[in-house]
Structure 1
Amino acid sequence: MSLTHTGVTIGPADLDPCGQPDHADCGIREVLDRVGDKWSVLVIVELANGARRFRELQRAVDGISQRMLTLTVRRLERDGLVLRTVYPTVPAQVDYRLTATGESLTHLVKALADWSLGHRDSIARARQAYDAEHPDNDIR
């Protein structure tokens, strides 16, 4: 390409989020990215128990920062999984609850959370054994 070339080229940013034009699995990947990240899973598990205010969610989801919780609930709201309701009080009260679509996901997310809890010890042992065999590995 010459220095004076002004034509539009197609780069990675112009492709679909899967990196290929019109890739069939792209929508699936976008959804799995959202519902598969650790904070979304934990927020959905908590909201499966009913509506929560922001601070209640923050206290219930151990280790989540205010910023990360804000981003997580906004993304879940954008995806139609969480409903944010602002009540006209002073100061304003806001609560979060699952939508019907979010509710339909809870049994799957809870199953994943339960599986994780039930297998955390065996996974920790496997990690220790792997790390002992591969001391120079840097995948942590």
Structure 2
Amino acid sequence: MITVIEQPVEARLVAAAPRMPSIPAKLHYDRRDPFAIRMTFPAPATLEGVEVCWTFARELLSAGLHGAEGTGDVRVRPYGYDRTVLEFHAPEGTAVVHVHSEEIRRFLQATSDLVPVGFEHLHLDLDHDLAELMRDAC
């Protein structure tokens, strides 16, 4: 049974220069962490020269297709009909990328096929998570 979905997306980095370079980013969803999405950027695209992964709510990504969402480190909003803007805020600065909205819709549909929205709680292993917390507390 499939438990993980990974989908490459073409992200365009918004920079001061007129050319917006393309970044081969990846969206990742794991039904063992059913509320979360991860977006990974390859090492050559980051200031640190190492792969960077941002984790944020699936609900945030979905809602951001229709209107500005997010007040924290990750913010999402539509940009015209066919693009979605994702902003990643860190102490080092802010990265702003554009992604084709259809790529995000296709990814979200795949996640919903795996774990329907509203049924995420059925895929949580609270006993295991609690045991891990208690193990670390001793």
> What's the TM-score once normalised by structure 2's chain length?
0.37
Q: TM-score w.r.t. structure 1 length?
A: 0.37
- Between structures 1 and 2, the one with greater helix share: 1
Q: Which has the higher strand share?
A: 2
Larger radius of gyration: 1
